[in-house]
Chain A
Amino acid sequence: MLAAYLAIPFFLVVAAGIGLFALAAGFVLGPRRPDPRKAAPYECGFEAFEDAHMPFDVRYYLVAILFILFDLEITFLFPWAVSLNHIGTAGLLAMVAFLLVLTIGFIYEWRKGALEWE
């Protein structure tokens, strides 16, 4: 059964090879005329004022945390959905209960304003 997965590493290698080939071709075929102004980060013609690695809005972290919660729930749903025909009504109801809890949590987030982006 595992032999079926053999094509995947081949795909990864070939895809990376295409990328390497294109990048190498770019380095070989393209000109190279370095210039400090050309190598400066683009800022609409101005000199860059400061390092661009500045702190960013905390809401991005909030979105990331919510994403992890929901993504885990999705991975939890996958095996359940595959085996629906074998687990009977009890299995179905168990997940309905779980989804209800999930929905309550979702409504809480919504009411708390965690999903607002103003």
Chain B
Amino acid sequence: MTMALSGQYMTNGLLAAGVLLLKVLAVIMPITVVVAYLTYVERKVIGYMQRRIGPHRVGYRGLLQPFADVFKLLLKEVLVPASANRFLFLTAPFLALVPALATWAVVPFWRGAALANVDAGLLYVLAMTSMTVYGIILAGWSSNSKYALLGAMRSAAQMVAYEIAMGFALVGVIMASNSLNLDRIVVAQAGGLHHWYIWPLLPLAVVYFICGVAETNRAPFDVAEGESEIVAGFHVEYSGAGFALFFLAEYANMILISALVSIFFVGGWLSPFEGLVPILGKPGLHWLALKMAFFLFCFLWFRATFPRYRYDQIMRLGWKVFIPLTLLWIGLECVWKAVGFGPWF
């Protein structure tokens, strides 16, 4: 009897685990597809901004280009430099990739649709996004190449500098929402366009997004790669599949930052026409997707238009502009909290 019962529990447990596994795949698979097409869109958008047409050979208008890229990367030799630390060299891409994908566990796609709808969601996001820097440092150090080490050092100092401003900006969001749960942060912004946090927290939103660009090592903050000075920075020694993993992690992080900005500041899955237009006012995944697409476009737009920052300029911007600005805004929010302000506080 007890045997049969425990057997039943076991099957139920296995079934639940199987369903959960399918759900996780249902989140990660679309993300990898979006990553693939983001590389295509990036090349197209930057191409058109520079009056070129971008990739157009593989498939209709080059639409199969990402797949060609994936196959090319997987068919290349995986090189491990002779003087490198082999184990760390092969571990580093995982330390970059796993946090970039695992953070999606707490991202709500619509009301209650986060796979892990946990109360400490925002803490989890911060913890996971901070992990990425280890992948970069390990990659740079274990390669035993001077360019790689230089890129890793630069990237580490830059990422920790911008992480502080990022954290302060998030404190501003929590002061308004009083919750670390991503779902509740969005729900707290319900009630129409003017309830979104971007209005009272505009400087924090700008700081957060720019820090996100810096954290993902994207142009104009891409001194960690800096093709023209240190060839490719921390991943100069990586080829084939190892390089593909870093690439995947970088783009997954871009998509993640776009999702987080949308959730924290512009109401996530909420419609801008809420309470104004009957059908358009309905919340849903498409609104989150649209907002994310806008921020992703900004990533590409920045890359096509801004020249790369000099390293001392990056450090100055992080420490001397963003941190004082976010501290000031937190102080201002304290005042708002005390006297009450608009629909937000």
B111 to chain A, nearest CB (A): 15
Contacts of B164 in A (CB 8 A): 67, 70-71, 74
Contact stretch, chosen from B211-219, B233-241, B269-277, B289-297: B233-241
Instruction: Decide if B75 touches A43 in the complex (CB within 8 Å).
Output: no
Instruction: Decide if A63 touches B160 in the complex (CB within 8 Å).
Output: yes
Instruction: Decide if A42 touches B83 in the complex (CB within 8 Å).
Output: no
Instruction: Decide if A115 touches B160 in the complex (CB within 8 Å).
Output: no
> Which size bracket describes the interface of A in this complex?
35 or more
Whether B161 sits at the interface, judged by CB under 8 Å, is: yes
Contacts of A67 in B (CB 8 A): 160-161, 163-164
Per the bound structure, the CA–CA distance linking A70 and B89 in Å amounts to 31
How does the 8 Å CB contact mask read for A5-49 relative to B, with 1 for contact and 0 for none? Answer: 111101110111011001101110111110010111111100010
Instruction: Decide if B77 touches A32 in the complex (CB within 8 Å).
Output: yes
Instruction: Decide if B168 touches A81 in the complex (CB within 8 Å).
Output: no
Q: Which of A23, A67, A92 has the most CB of B within 10 A?
A: A23
Nearest opposing residue in chain B for A28, CB measure? B74
Binding site for B on A (CB under 8 A): 1, 4-8, 10-12, 14-16, 18-19, 22-23, 25-27, 29-33, 36, 38-44, 48, 51-54, 56, 59-60, 63-64, 66-67, 70-71, 74, 77-78, 81-85, 89, 92, 95-96, 99, 102-103, 106, 110, 115, 117-118
Closest 3 CB pairs of A and B: A26-B241, A15-B101, A74-B167
19 new A-B contacts, CB < 8 A, other than A99-B330, A115-B320, are: A6-B20, A10-B17, A11-B27, A18-B97, A22-B74, A22-B248, A26-B76, A33-B77, A39-B80, A63-B157, A71-B160, A71-B167, A74-B168, A74-B171, A78-B171, A81-B171, A82-B174, A82-B178, A115-B315
